[in-house]
Amino acid sequence: MAKKNPHLDPNTFRDSLGTVRDDGKRNWVYPKKVSGIFYRYRTYLSWLLLAILFAGPFITVEGRPWLLFNIFERKFIIFGAVFWPQDTHLLIFLLLILFVFIILFTVVFGRVWCGWACPQTLFMEMVFRKIEYLIEGDANQQRKLNEAPWNSEKIWKKGLKITVFGLISLAIGHLVMAYLIGVEQVLDIVTQPPSAHMAGFMGLVAFSGIFMFIFTWFREQACIVVCPYGRLQGVFLDNNSINVMYDYVRGEPRGPIRKNQIETNPKGDCVDCNLCVQVCPTGIDIRNGIQMECVNCTACIDVCDEVMVKVDRPKGLIRYASENSVKEGFQKLITGRVKAYSVVLVLLVVGFIALIATRDELSATVTRFPGMTYQMRDNGTVSNLYQIILINKTFESQTVDLQSLAPGMDVEILGDQVWVLEPQSKLEGRFFLVQDQQEVLTPQQKVKLSLRHEGQEIDEINTSFMAPVAEK
């Protein structure tokens, strides 16, 4: 016999998770298939967003990817703009902007993102769930199939489902890798033996396995247990935030109605059909109020609207609304919080634009060569060895050289006398600073170097020079 789910009890629902039974086991959610206007629009939007998501790594601008999140080399390309490790402050700024924007958006519109655009929901509800309905049928048929012994029908259906889920997980794993290392590298990995790209191959296997696990078994737990955004809702939302809401003013007292009883036994509009619970992919009862588990998927709106039409009541018993609009009958969108977040967001955007406009196109980092102090030379000079990391953030190749601004000190670049940087590239070079020992006045002196491009100084670099002072 199915165990009672304490989460659906209006007296105890805040004490437990909708997906955990009172015996502590997972309450597997079998959401009933839903149809309706919101579901239709969500389906159309999901096609568009999935198309963009899969096309993303293939979009290039002047031969470079439009989006790349190469965490391994710490190189990021966002909408065509390249960010190097030296641009970490810009990325932090960008993340702050994103964070404040998300807060602002959530304060006003609740979890619209979760229901309509989050990749987890898109794949789970619009891809994997639809395939599951196609192969195993609606909620009741799925439940029966899971409880049935392993006969040929069950083996066939489960086998087919796992195969299709596996193939899609492989596609998503490759997609994620393409965002991380680029399409060409992924192509190299899949067209060459695993031993040629062991790390990349392991990455593909790991990501595909993770997605298989998430969409086959973990499912709504990703939103309820793992996603930090979901868990922060209690902080973001207030009584003016718009959410999927049950209109308890209109709906209560709930109970089944018969047309000829309406006059003698008036009830609220909720006919207690429980369909809003049966379609919910996170296994909650929206009539208990706003809950952390609700991903605002709108399934309960669609199904309740259908019920309302059947019992000849106005649609919208469950709808997008705020607590205040249900309780007090008014909706205030521009609150003090919204104004404050908007001001912070504008300031951050202005700051970010200013930083982008003034960032160096060529950057250099000079460090002393590790483990070495100075070298005495036969000709009476003394030298220090340095390494330099040059980054060309432009889309043209650049030739740079280095000059010392300290009197009597020369720069000897190892190899050629200049460094040639390809567009959007990083180069590691080495050079000596050399001084006649007779001119050394202090064992450690501060030195300024001039990084030059086509005879023009583009950066001034500070370092130090170590040498023994000559005995007089």
- For ligand SF4, the binding residues (CB under 6 A) are 244, 246, 251, 254, 270-276, 279-282, 284, 286-287, 294-300, 303-304, 307, 317-318
- 318: helix, coil or strand? strand
Give me the least distance between CB of 78 and ligand SF4, in Å please. Answer: 31
Nearest-approach distance from CB 185 to ligand SF4, in angstroms: 38
Closer to ligand SF4 by Cβ: residue 253 or 380:
253
Residue 349 DSSP one-character state: H
The smaller minimum CB distance to ligand SF4, of residues 75 and 313, is found at: 313
CB of residue 6 to ligand SF4, shortest distance in Å: 17
The distance of closest approach from Cβ of residue 425 to ligand SF4 in the complex, given in angstroms and rounded to an integer, is: 48
Map residue 287 onto helix, strand or coil. Answer: helix
Strand partners, 446: 464
Q: Which is nearer to ligand SF4, 18 or 182 (CB)?
A: 18
**Closer residue to ligand SF4 in complex, CB, 186/284:** 284
Q: Which of 294, 239, 246, 245 has the alpha carbon at shortest distance from 113?
A: 294
Alpha carbon distance 404, 413 (integer Å): 12
Spatial separation of the C-alpha atoms in residues 267 and 101, rounded to whole Å: 42
Task: Count the alpha carbons within 13 Å of 126 in the hemisphere toward its beta carbon.
Answer: 25
Minimum CB distance to ligand SF4 smaller for 307 or for 433: 307
Whole-number minimum distance, CB 324 to ligand SF4, in Å?
19
Would you say 114 or 449 has its CB closer to ligand SF4? 114
Shortest CA distance to 178 belongs to which of 57, 357, 359, 327?
57
Tell me the pairing of strands 375-376 and 81-83: unpaired
Q: What is the maximum span of the chain, computed from C-alpha positions, in angstroms?
A: 117
Toward ligand SF4, which CB reaches closer, 181 or 317? 317
The conformation of residue 182, written as its DSSP 8-state character, comes to: -
Cα separations (Å) of 258 from 39, 65, 444? Answer: 29, 62, 95
User: For residues 465 and 472, what is the distance between their CA atoms, to the nearest angstrom?
Assistant: 20
- Residue 270 CB, nearest approach to ligand SF4 (Å): 3
CB of 254 to ligand SF4, least distance (A): 6
Neighbours of 390 (CB within 10 A): 22
Residue number with CB closer to ligand SF4 (13 or 76): 13
Q: Select 174 or 319, whichever has its Cβ closest to ligand SF4.
A: 319
Q: How far is the CB of 277 from ligand SF4 (least distance, A)?
A: 7
Neighbours of 329 (CB within 10 A): 8
How many beta carbons lie within 10 A of that of residue 379, not counting itself?
Answer: 8
Q: CB–CB of 435/465 below 8 Å? A: yes
- Which residue, 282 or 383, has its beta carbon nearer to ligand SF4? 282
Closest CB to ligand SF4 among residues 7, 197:
7
**Cβ–Cβ < 8 Å for 290, 237:** yes
Q: Which residues contact 18 (CB under 8 A, 6 or more apart)?
A: 5, 7, 8, 27, 29, 224, 280, 282, 283, 284, 291, 293
Q: Least distance in Å: CB of 293 to ligand SF4? A: 7
**CA separation for the pair 298, 295 (Å, rounded):** 8
Among candidate residues 174, 56, 207, 45, the one with its CA nearest the CA of residue 122: 45
Question: Residue type at 430?
Answer: R
In whole angstroms, the minimum distance from the beta carbon of 294 to ligand SF4 comes to 3
DSSP 471: P
Residues 233/198, Cβ–Cβ less than 8 Å: no
Compute the least distance from the CB of residue 116 to ligand SF4, in Å: 11
